[in-house]
Amino acid sequence: MRRWHAKGFALWFVFLWFFIGGIAHFVATDLEMRIVPPVIPSPRAAVLVSGVFELLGAGGLAFRPTRRLAGLGLVLLTIAVTPANVFMLEHAASFHVPYWLLIVRLPVQAALLALIAWCCDLASFWTLKAPSKH
């Protein structure tokens, strides 16, 4: 597979991941609120705001001029919601998800971060180089 095909596939994957995830924040708000750690004030607002940012990030991926900034935002958002994934793992009995899946979720999240960085040319963001033409 050519590099630009792989990068295009990765970009679509990341777009769909956050587009579908963002919609889920509004369609299944009560379910999403269950994974918000109790130390976070206003779980409903946290779910809705993060859903908006997921949709904005997905939309930003669609346009080359906004892709790197959207990618950076999605990396920061993914890091910001990591406590919810850890909370689910720590309180696995409260959720009807296999424990092994909650364990696998964390390295998958790390892989997602790497995929976002690669398909959005975030390495060039830090060095102020022009993004690749792929």
Which tens digit of pLDDT belongs to each residue from 7-30? 999 999 999 999 999 999 999 999
Range(s) of the domain holding residue 71: 3-123
Within 10 angstroms of residue 37's Cβ, the number of other Cβ atoms is: 14
User: What is the chain's mean pLDDT, rounded?
Assistant: 91
Confidence of residue 128 (pLDDT cuts 50, 70, 90): low
Q: Is the pLDDT of residue 76 over 90?
A: yes
Is pTM beyond 0.95 here? Answer: no
Any domain includes 131: no
Q: Does residue 133 lie within any of the structural domains?
A: no
36 falls within a domain: yes
Answer whether residue 111 is part of any domain.
Answer: yes
Examine residue 129 and state whether it is found in any structural domain, yes or no: no
pLDDT at 131: 58
Which pair of structure tokens corresponds to residue 133? 């033409």
Distance, CA of 7 to CA of 121 (rounded, Å):
10
Per the structure, the count of domains in the chain is: 1
Helix, strand, coil % over all residues of the chain, rounded to 5:
80, 0, 20
Is the residue at 56 inside a domain?
yes
The per-residue pLDDT for 37 is 95
